[in-house]
Chains A and B, each alone.
Chain A
Amino acid sequence: MITVPRPGRPRDEENERADGAGPAAPTRRRSRVRAFGLRTRLLAAFLLVAAVSAGTTSALTYREARNALLKTAQDMAVSTFRDQVERTGWRLPVEEEGIEEILRDLARTGKPRPWVVFAEYGSIRASSGENPVSSVITPELRRAATADRYGSFERVVKDGVPYLTIGMPTVFKTGPDSTLPTGLVLYAVMRMTDEQINVDALLVAARNGALPGLAVALVPALLAARSVLRPVRELRRAARSMGSGRLDTRIPVRGRDELADLADTFNESAGQLERSVGELRDAEARARRFASDVSHELRTPLAGMLAVTEVLDEDADRLDPDTAQAVRLVSAETGKLAVLVEDLMEISRFDARAAELNADEIDVAEAIRKTLQVRHWAGDDRIRTELPPDIRARLDPRRFDVVIANLVGNALRHGGAPVTVLLRTEASSSGTLVLVVEVADRGPGIPAAALPHIFDRFYKADAARTRSPGSGLGLAITLENVNLHDGTIRAGNLPGGGAVFTVEIPLRAEEAVR
C-alpha cells in the first residue's frame, strides 16, 4: 500500500466533485461501484461465460438425453408392435366381425405401455378403443403406410399431450420368396406421458445444474475483479499523490503480471521525474544564489562609490559646467544602481524564502502618516489621505512602510495628482475582517494589456518609457511583502480614470479594532 498520507486538497476537490457532479460531469465520477466499471464488466463477462457454458452444456446434455429417451421408447414400441402384428393371422378379405377382438389383444400387450390399435382395410375402420378412427394419426403417416408401404412412426403433440403414432402396413407370403400387400394397415397410438414426465425431469435437472454454476462463477469473478482493481486503485492514489507534489511516491510491486509491470514502470517514471525536478530545483536555486551573491558583491563597491559621488556632488558647483554635469549624472546613476542592488537583494531574500516577518502591533493610520512624513510627502498637496484612527493590526512596520511608499511613489510617478490613500476595514467574503488600503490616482490608468503583468519583475507598462526612475522591482517587492502578510494586492482602473491598487491584509480576530 501507499505509505504517503492522502493530501488534503485533492481530497476536498474529489468530495466536491462527488457531491456536485451530476450528469454534467459523468466521466469524472469517482464512486466505487460504477455502472460500467471494471468490476461490473469483469462480473458480467464471468457470468456471461458461465451462463454460456452452463447453458450450452445443459442444453446439449438435455437434448441428447431427451432424444435417447425418446428413441429408446420409440424403437421399443415400433419393434414390439411389429412383432405383435406379425403374430396375427387374417383372412382376406378381412371381415369386420371379430376384428375388434384381435385389436384388443394387440392393445393389451403394448410396450412400453398399452396402446390403442386401429385397423384400416378397404372401407373397414376398427379400433381397440371407442372411436374406430384416430384423430391423432396424420395424413402423412397414413400416406407412408398405405402408399409407400413402410412401417413408420411419428410423434404428434395434440392439446399438449404427446403421442407416438405407428403405422404398420401388412403383407403376406404368396411363396417362399414373395410377399403381397394385404391392404390391411394397422396403427398404434400410444400416449407418451411417462416420457414427458422423464423429459420434464431432465429439463428441471439441467436448469438446476446450470443455476448453481452461475452462482459459483461469481466467486472467481469477484476475486479476479479484486486482483485487478486493487493495483488500479493503488496506482490512482499514487498518481494523485504525485500530482500533489509528493514525488517520492512509489507503489509496491506484487507478482509478475502486467499490472506489476505497470507498477514497475510507474515507479521508474516517478523516479526519473523526481530526479528531473530535483535537478531543475537545484538549477533554479543556483541561479537565485548567483543573483543574490552578485548583488551582495556589488554592495560594497557601490557603498564606496556612493560616498565618493556625494563628495563630488557637493563640489560640482566649483567645477566647470561640463564636468559638473557629468559628475551629477554619475552621482544620480550610482544612486539608482544602489537602489537596484538593494531591491535585488530584497527580492533574492524572498526567493530564498529567507524573508522574515517581524510582526508588531501597530496603529495603521499612524504608520501610514509616518511613511508619508519620512518621504517628505506629508505636506504635499498632491496627496490626500483618509485615515480613520484606532485601526490596529499585527504588521511588520518596515515591510508595511515599503508597501505604502512603493504604491504612493508609483502613483506620483506614473499617475496624475491627486493621489488618494484610503484606509478602512471590512468583512471579507469568508467572514473575517480585513484591513484595506487603497491607493488611487487620477492619471491615465493602467492599459488593459498590462494589467496581468503589472506585478512582474522589470515589467514596464509603458514600452516607450525606456528610462524609469524606479528599479522595475518595486511592485514585485510590494507583492511579495503583502503575500508575506497573508494578504492580497490587486491593480485596477477607476471608472472615472486613474489606477487604483488595493491591498487587503486579514486581521486576526483578537487583533481587530479595539
Chain B
Amino acid sequence: MRHARWRGVARRHTWWRGLATAVVATAGVPLVGGCGIQDSDVIEAGGPATVEAFLNRDADMLLFFRSPDGGLSPVIREVRPSAGFGEEYIEPGAVERAPSGPAGPAPTEKVVLALLSGPGEADRAAGLTTALPAVREKEAVKVEVSSDGGVTARLPLAVRALDATAVRQLTCTIAYNQVKDGRGVVTLRGLDGAERSGSCGLAPGTSG
C-alpha cells in the first residue's frame, strides 16, 4: 500500500526513492553486523597442545596401531614386560647393533616383532587394531642400516599384499625406533621379494 502511494505521486518518486534507499541502508548496517552473539567459522588458534606421555627412550618402544578413524596411533610399551610374552631377546650387544647413536636401546627387530604380534589388551580396549597379518615366524626379521642413514627391514611376510596402513604402521614403528624424530627412509623387503620404501611423515610440521 505504501508503495502504491509512492507511485501515485510521480513527481516525488525520485526523492522518495532516495529516502527509501537511505532508510534501508540505515536499517541494514546494524543488520549486517548482526545482533547478539553469532555462530562463527572454525578459527585456528595455534598448534596442538604438548602433553606428557612418559616416554622413556631407554626403556620403552613405540608401536603404531590403527585407530578407528583410519589414522595411526602411537602406543608406548615397556620393553621388559613385552619381552614376557615374546621371548628373551636382550643381549648385551643390542646397543652396539644400532649404530645411529640416538636410537633406543630396544633392538628394532624386537620392536617389529612386538608390532607384528598385534595390539595388546589395553590397546584393544581403546579401539586400536592392526592392519598387519599375523606372523608365526619370529626369527625372520632383520634390520640393516645403510651408511646414508636409510633403514632396510627384511620381513617374514608378503610385502606386496600389505595395504597402506599396514605399510605405514611398519614404517613408522621402524623409523621412530631407529631415530628419535622418526625421519629417514625405510625400505621394507618381504618374503615375496617385493620392496616398498617410504618415510613415516606423522610428525607435525613444526615440533615443540
Contact = CB atoms under 8 A, between A and B. Distances in A.
Contact of B180 (A85, A90, A178): A178
A192 interface: yes
Given A59-B33, A62-B33, A155-B40, A180 B51 contact: no
Interface string A146-183: 10111111111100001000101111111111111111
Interface string B17-51: 00100110111011001111111111111111111
Nearest to B76: A92
A329 B15 CA distance: 80
B7 to A, nearest CB: 15
A150 B47 contact: yes
B91 interface: no
B47 A63 contact: no
A200 interface: yes
A169 B48 CA distance: 5
Interface stretch (A13-21, A120-128, A223-231): A120-128
A247 B197 CA distance: 111
B167 to A, nearest CB: 18
B87 to A, nearest CB: 23
Contacts, number: 212
B190 interface: no
A178 B49 contact: no
B4 interface: no
Given A44-B19, A94-B126, A178-B203, A157 B38 contact: yes
Contact of A170 (B15, B34, B39, B51): B51
B62 interface: yes
B204 A62 contact: no
A149 B75 contact: no
B74 interface: yes
Interface residues of B, number: 61
Contact of B45 (A58, A95, A153): A153
Interface stretch (A136-144, A356-364, A411-419): A136-144
A216 B25 CA distance: 21
B38 A58 contact: no
A151 to B, nearest CB: 5
Given A85-B49, A138-B42, A170-B49, A124 B127 contact: yes
Contacts of B68: 122-123
Contacts of B102: 175
A98 interface: no
Given A59-B30, A180-B182, A151 B43 contact: no
Interface in B37-77: 37-55, 57, 62, 67-69, 71-76
B28 to A, nearest CB: 9
Most buried by B among A51, A94, A156, A174: A174
A175 B127 CA distance: 27
Interface in B156-194: 176, 180-182
B66 to A, nearest CB: 9
A160 B19 CA distance: 35
A144 B48 contact: no
B123 interface: yes
A183 B125 CA distance: 15
Contacts of A70: 37
A462 interface: no
Please give me the 5 A-B residue pairs with the lowest Cβ-Cβ distance, nearest first. Answer: A123-B127, A175-B180, A178-B181, A172-B53, A122-B127
Interface of B: 9, 12, 15, 19, 22-23, 25-27, 29-30, 33-55, 57, 62, 67-69, 71-76, 102, 122-123, 125-128, 176, 180-182, 202-204, 207-208
Given A48-B26, A150-B44, 10 more contacts: A55-B30, A89-B51, A93-B75, A150-B46, A151-B48, A172-B52, A174-B180, A178-B182, A179-B208, A181-B202
7 contacts: A144-B42, A151-B44, A155-B39, A171-B51, A178-B180, A178-B182, A182-B74
